[in-house]
């Protein structure tokens, strides 16, 4: 009987409808009302139980109770600074005795993937606060006033959630806050201005003596776009920079993400941390996840060092591609990569770990370098060496084929970016000068002068080793990989090193 309940109900309603028509009762309005009620109930159910009155609102999310500052690696300084700023929510009586005004807002700035959202969630757990979150893009629509209303609802939701959860504080987190907090230019973007004005009003309305203490945490990777009225003290009182993790931080992050993975006892996460210079926390998490996927593909019970090496390559350059290339293309790519590798060995002896012809992402080949120490300051000589390594590929093609290919496009972009850094740092012939004081013609002239000089130096070095290309090319084409030791053994008797100094 229960199995056919839906069919019985449909049949009963049909008979009832015919009967009402037969006795002269206007049944059509009743049926229409029933259908409308059924449609509303279906929509409410499909939206996860959102009430009809809250259509258009985003359900606020709450921080998982298990996420604490100990679960976030690589950001020791931001964590300490944030915990110090949160003391006013934890030690109410002490700050009242000292007459300290509670903070109203904390702004987290830094590159994508560095853990700004995780820090906000951990802050809610640390202070035992209710947590509601939203993205800046959710507040701006084509209809004026909609965003401002949602701002009001967000703060109202934070207070009601704190009362419901029997907590005396709440944290409102707005990710990508530059979406609503951009600089006002006096134009016709009234919806943006009204949304920002409402946010400023809500922050001004936060009082330290409220029973429910509210803290706004914003996150952005474009702080320079924010309106000055939002950044002033009394609104965002603290600005905390969340940067890329250093070597120690990267190892900590890798260990956190490796806790649930069966790592081989021989795995060295310290070595992985060395090889992932410049990686964000999100990229490191992806490395550990991709390594586990490679282990599954190999039907291995453990994640070993090889899987981690493959994962680093994938995160840096993309998945291995099964591209069919002609013999001529493979030879050109091989010579191009050998040009990079020979130049790297000349200016930084012992730096090349491997030369590969394995296509990954958009690259048809690549050179893997040995780990280097984290560096945050660069000399003119170091920058020139990086440019020469980048130009080694195109110069090798010129020496062997008499011309360049489109494969050097990325190398040129890298080289010109380094030249820009040199000019802005006062390392060019222009001396110390403000970049905006230069015309486009002056930029181009100085850029060409630096690149042409370094191309000539690169051409001299590779020309002195031109006879070695054919010998190395045979090994690379046959085995698809060339180890750094093989490269150095072939070059050891021919490479002039006096010019590198």
Nearest CA-CA partner of 104 in 86, 122, 120: 86
R_g of the chain, CA atoms, integer Å: 31
Catalytic residue among 337, 384, 397, 446: 337
DSSP state string for 294-305:
HHHHTT-SSB-H
> Rounded distance, CA 353 to CA 337, Å?
13
Cα separation of 487 and 341, whole Å? Answer: 8
Q: Beta strand 238-241 with 352-356: parallel, antiparallel or unpaired?
A: unpaired
Kindly compute the dihedral angle of the four CA atoms of residues 79, 82, 276, 339, in this order, to the nearest 10 degrees. Answer: -150
Sheet containing strand 352-356, strands side by side: 366-369, 352-356, 481-483
210 flagged as catalytic: no
CA 67 – CA 450 distance, rounded (Å): 50
Which tokens in the block code for residue 141?
């629509």
User: H helices of 53-145, where?
Assistant: 76-85, 87-90, 92-97, 116-127
Cβ 203 vs Cβ 104: under 8 Å: yes
Instruction: Please check whether residue 121 is in contact with residue 86, taking contact to mean a CB–CB distance below 8 angstroms.
Output: no
Residue 131: Cβ within 10 Å count: 26
Q: Is 208 left (phi over 0), alpha (psi -120 to 50) or beta?
A: alpha
3-state secondary structure of 108: strand
45: buried, middle or exposed (CB in 10 Å: 19+, 13-18, 0-12)?
exposed
Catalytic center residues: 337
């Amino acid at each position: 009987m229960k199995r056919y309940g839906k069919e019985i109900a449909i049949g009963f309603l049909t008979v009832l409808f015919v009967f009402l028509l037969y006795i002269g009762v206007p049944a059509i309005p009743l049926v229409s009302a029933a259908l409308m009620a059924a449609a509303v109930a279906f929509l409410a159910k499909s939206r996860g139980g959102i009430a009809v009155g809250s259509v258009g609102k985003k359900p606020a999310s709450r921080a998982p109770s298990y996420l604490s500052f100990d679960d976030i690696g690589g950001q020791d300084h931001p964590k300490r600074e944030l915990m110090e700023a949160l003391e006013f929510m934890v030690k109410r009586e002490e700050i009242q005795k000292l007459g300290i005004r509670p903070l109203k807002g904390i702004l987290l700035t830094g590159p994508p993937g560095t853990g700004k959202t995780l820090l906000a969630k951990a802050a809610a757990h640390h202070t035992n606060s209710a947590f509601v979150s939203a993205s800046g893009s959710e507040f701006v629509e084509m209809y004026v006033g909609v965003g401002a209303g949602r701002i009001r609802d967000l703060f109202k939701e934070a207070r009601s959630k704190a009362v419901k959860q029997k907590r005396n504080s709440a944290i409102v987190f707005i990710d990508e806050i530059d979406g609503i907090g951009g600089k006002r230019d006096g134009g016709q973007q009234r919806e943006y201005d009204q949304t920002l004005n409402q946010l400023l009003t809500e922050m001004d309305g936060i009082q330290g003596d409220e029973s429910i203490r509210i803290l706004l945490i914003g996150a952005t990777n474009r702080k320079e776009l924010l309106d000055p009225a939002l950044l002033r003290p009394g609104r965002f009182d603290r600005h905390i920079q969340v940067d890329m993790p250093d070597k120690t931080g990267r190892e900590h992050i890798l260990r956190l993400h490796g806790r649930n993975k069966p790592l081989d006892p021989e795995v060295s996460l310290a070595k992985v941390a060395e090889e992932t210079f410049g990686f964000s926390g999100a990229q490191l998490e992806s490395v550990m996840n991709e390594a586990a996927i490679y282990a599954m593909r190999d039907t291995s019970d453990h994640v070993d060092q090889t899987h981690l090496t493959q994962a680093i390559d994938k995160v840096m350059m993309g998945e291995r591609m099964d591209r069919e290339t002609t013999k001529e293309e493979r030879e050109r790519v091989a010579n191009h990569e050998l040009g990079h590798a020979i130049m790297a060995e000349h200016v930084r002896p012992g730096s090349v770990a491997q030369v590969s012809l394995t296509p990954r992402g958009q690259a048809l080949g690549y050179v893997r370098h040995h780990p280097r120490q984290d560096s945050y300051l660069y000399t003119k000589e170091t920058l020139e060496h990086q440019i020469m390594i980048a130009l080694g590929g195109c110069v090798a093609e010129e020496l062997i084929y008499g011309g360049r290919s489109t494969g050097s496009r990325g190398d040129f972009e890298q080289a010109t970016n380094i030249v820009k850094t040199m000019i802005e740092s006062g390392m060019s012939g222009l001396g110390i000068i403000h970049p905006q004081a230069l015309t486009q013609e002056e930029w181009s002239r100085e850029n060409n002068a630096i690149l042409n000089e370094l191309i000539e130096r690169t051409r001299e070095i590779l020309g002195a080793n031109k006879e070695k290309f054919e010998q190395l090319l045979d090994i690379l084409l046959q085995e698809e990989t060339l180890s750094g030791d093989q490269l150095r053994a072939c070059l050891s008797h021919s490479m002039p090193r006096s010019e590198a100094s």
